Chains A and B, each alone.
Chain A
Amino acid sequence: MFFVKLIIRNAFRHRLRTFLTVIGVAIAVLAFGMLRTLVGLWYLGVEHASATRLVTRNAISLVFPLPISYYDRIRQVAGVKSVSYGDWFGGIYIDEKHFFPNYAIEPRYYLDLYPEFIFPPEEKEAFVRDRKGCVVGRRLAVRYGWKIGDLITLKGTIYPGQWEFVLRGIYRGKEKGTEERLLMFHWDYLNETLKKSVPRRADQVGYYMIGVESPAIAAQVAQDVDRIFKNSLAETLTETEQAFHMGFVSMTEAIMIAIQIVSYVVILIIMVVAANTMAMTARERVPEYATMKTMGFGPMHMAIIIFGESVFIAVTGGICGALLTFPASRWIETELVEYFPYFSVSMTTIYLDLAAACLVGVVAAIFPTWRSSTIRIAEGLRRIG
């Protein structure tokens, strides 16, 4: 109890210095938490991928199409529950800054494969029936103020022209992290138009989505599908949705690694700042430590006092920083909704925040402790601050 009192009293002796250090630690912990969340977002698609969905694409790369005739052959593979297909449309709304993903899909089975997109039943039916219809996620509809029945025009980049769709349904995600910024429309609409304008590009799809009966047979099904098309003009590569997303993520991994490194650098910076604070504090108190030693306190007691003060300051800063993470992430979610529709801080991040703060406190105390325990009493008493 005595030590706790001493530690707290000591911590508030230089109010300004303690205050500044606490702010510094809080900022660093906040930045650390934010950066970690940002990196986590990158892998969000991978986390939300279903284990029972497989993606079949052209083995050369995703930009090469697959013939529509593969549809029936994939359906015959044992273990396949349902098959659907789609194509990345890459249309632009207004201009390039208003980017959102848009796909041409086969409507009925595709949406069945994605139970996490929740539609009012009548809207889903209306979409399936209307060949010019499209569906969008809730966030996208809110962002542009779209209502059911609105006309939406996209400018095609891969498929040239102005493409008009009628909004037939708005879905919401089952979970908070579900992507709610997609636009999907009928693949038939795309295909029929292509048959008239560029017949050689018609009857091709970008990828097949396969629903398998259970995750256990996914690998076998993937192999079976690929074997059918081995040595054909369009060889396929089938992988789980998770692996498919991971492929994208790993291509941009270099930047994520850089951000991760930087998030550790910020902790390092604040470690230095905190160590500096403690070093100065200890230097000023050398005569005091000598006095305490004269009175019979051992090096162990010195260590408790210094470590206690250091960890106390750092953890106070850490708690402030961790608490600030929540309003900050809410601010990002509301203000930067176009880039980060979902910026939720996980509990792991909070624990790591606090662990980092503790670490900062402990590391900062090492040198002053060593100094206070080795100082000779006479020298310490003689010294002037």
Chain B
Amino acid sequence: MVIPCYYSFRNLWTRRLTTVLTSSGMAMVVFVFAATMMLAEGLSKTLVETGSYDNVVVIRKSANSEVQSGVERSQAAIVESDPEVAIGPDGRPLLDKELVVLFNLLKRHTNKPSNVVIRGVGPAGLLLRPQVRLIEGRMPRPGSTEVIAGKNIADRFQGGGVGETLRFAMRDWTVVGVFVAGSTGFNSEIWGDVEQLMQAFRRPVYSSVLFRLRDSDRFDGLKERLESDPRLTVDAKRETRYYADQAEAMARFLHILGLSLTIIFSLGAVIGAMITMYAAVANRTTEIGTMRALGFGRMSILAAFMIESLLLGLVGGLLGVFAASFMQLITISTMNWQTFSELAFSFALTIDIVWKSLLFSIIMGFVGGALPAVRAARMSIVEALRES
């Protein structure tokens, strides 16, 4: 004989206050669990979207990022002449020689400085990055002191909006356009004409060379050829790989932080569930005895209490995920230690995270309810009935 499911459900309903308190404890843990996973997910989403699999980034050997790197004009020309570089619709190579420098910019409201990337791009820069779209204003005219700013910059930094000017390298640069680039890192960059910027910053070398592969499968051969060329001292990486490497430390930090927080917090919530379930068992000793006397087996008593505990966990999980879904509205912006520049990413909720969180909450319910349920199942009928 099996105890009906609604017995467990009704029990939770009768002790509403306790149910709400226990579940909300679990909900908070699930919230932290989901939020840290969403953050890690948001970071990796930003990075994956920033790079394109068919693009190759060439930087100086052993430089970890474009900021540290330097590629001489002559070396860039050698890379440009490689047969694996794709040709664009206008018959020119789909290759962009770029300059990347960091610049200190003040935030609009807090007046706090932050390191922002200024990227000098050539005509192919936009073709190579189809995610980038101009939403306001126009493109800078080549050879002028005009720049366009990413959406994050325009919104959050002083002098970043259309018509405003930024002062650096002894010149005033007019912002003539704002671009968006999905959820990529380019949103936190300022773009201008590469030759102008090199002159202004007195940098005679490019930072990196970016190009599209003619045939994506032939990357390995190309990589070997470029890296073993005695005239070049460069590393070639797929763009996706390059950006993943850039935030490796940040991703690992978020992962470890999330994991340790979740473990510690879940201990607290499991203890909460355990207290609740022990109390539920203790309060209903007579009831359990009666049910056993009526002929319900030990297993069905065990099942009834387990279901109650799992339900408790599930309610907490649903509440937690519901609250965490609002985190998607928040964008975190922080400095990436590896590149030393501003990196903005938001919380991203995926189906995967939802079911993992729910599973996690049910596991917490299970762990919390297991011991009390066993105690309930092992009660002897006579003693349980005698108690009151």
Contact = CB atoms under 8 A, between A and B. Distances in A.
A266 B202 contact: no
A61 B103 contact: yes
Interface stretch (B127-135, B262-270, B288-296): B262-270
B278 interface: yes
Contacts of A266: 264-265, 268
Secondary structure at the A interface, as helix, strand, loop or mixed, is helix
A96 B64 contact: yes
Interface stretch (A145-153, A155-163, A285-293): A155-163
Contact of B269 (A14, A155, A160, A273): A273
Interface stretch (B19-27, B46-54, B83-91): B19-27
Contacts of B32: 262, 265
Contacts of A14: 282
Contact of A16 (B24, B28, B278, B340): B278
B251 to A, nearest CB: 13
B274 interface: yes
Given A279-B18, A284-B283, A270 B103 contact: no
Contacts of B170: 231, 233, 235
Nearest to A23: B271
Contact of B267 (A27, A92, A96, A237): A27
B325 interface: no
Given A233-B170, A272-B28, A17 B268 contact: no
Nearest to A200: B204
A259 B337 CA distance: 18
A237 B113 CA distance: 12
Interface in A230-254: 231, 233, 235, 237, 247-248, 250-254
21 contacts: A16-B278, A21-B275, A24-B267, A30-B264, A59-B104, A60-B101, A60-B103, A60-B168, A63-B101, A155-B62, A157-B68, A158-B63, A251-B113, A254-B332, A254-B333, A255-B332, A269-B28, A270-B25, A270-B268, A275-B21, A276-B25
Interface of B: 17-18, 21-22, 24-25, 28-29, 31-32, 60-64, 67-68, 101-104, 112-115, 168-170, 201-202, 204, 233, 257, 261, 264-265, 267-269, 271-272, 274-276, 278-279, 282-283, 332-335, 337, 340, 342
Given A237-B104, A270-B25, 12 more contacts: A20-B271, A158-B68, A200-B204, A250-B112, A251-B115, A251-B335, A254-B334, A265-B32, A265-B265, A273-B272, A276-B275, A279-B21
